[in-house]
Amino acid sequence: MSEQEKYEAQGRAHATLKMHRSNIATLTVSLREYSKTLMELSHAIDAFVRDPGRREPPGAIKPQSENLRDHLRRLNAATDHANSQLDELFMEAGKARLLQEEIEKF
């Protein structure tokens, strides 16, 4: 491999590694948002369980239990998406690690 070919290969490898790192960052942000949503829902469920018979605030459109059920329905769809994102994150991290090792061999 000539020096020019090696230089071009290194450039492509670095560009690909940058793409993988960008994908990892995007997936990480999304999964952290999902985690935040889980925590918020957990707190809302805990509050409801502590006092399930509490009166709704004046002007409440729906009872708290119905709001929680709506959130849980949306969470089920988000969970499927998060599962696929976990798989993608694992694959992207593996590709980035292998590519980084290859780059270090140059």
Angstrom distance (rounded) from CA 103 to CA 106: 5
| pLDDT recorded at residue 57 | 72
Higher pLDDT, 41 or 56: 41
Q: What is the mean pLDDT of residues 6-17?
A: 89
Higher pLDDT, 71 or 19: 19
Q: What is the mean pLDDT of residues 19-42?
A: 95
State the residue range of the domain holding 92. Answer: 3-52+60-105
| Model confidence at 60: pLDDT above 80 | no
> Could you give the number of structural domains in the chain?
1
| Model confidence at 36: pLDDT above 90 | yes
Structure tokens belonging to residue 52: 């399930």
| pLDDT recorded at residue 95 | 96
Write down the pTM of the prediction: 0.77
47-66: b (≥16 Cβ within 10 Å) or e? eeeeeeeeeeeeeeeeebee
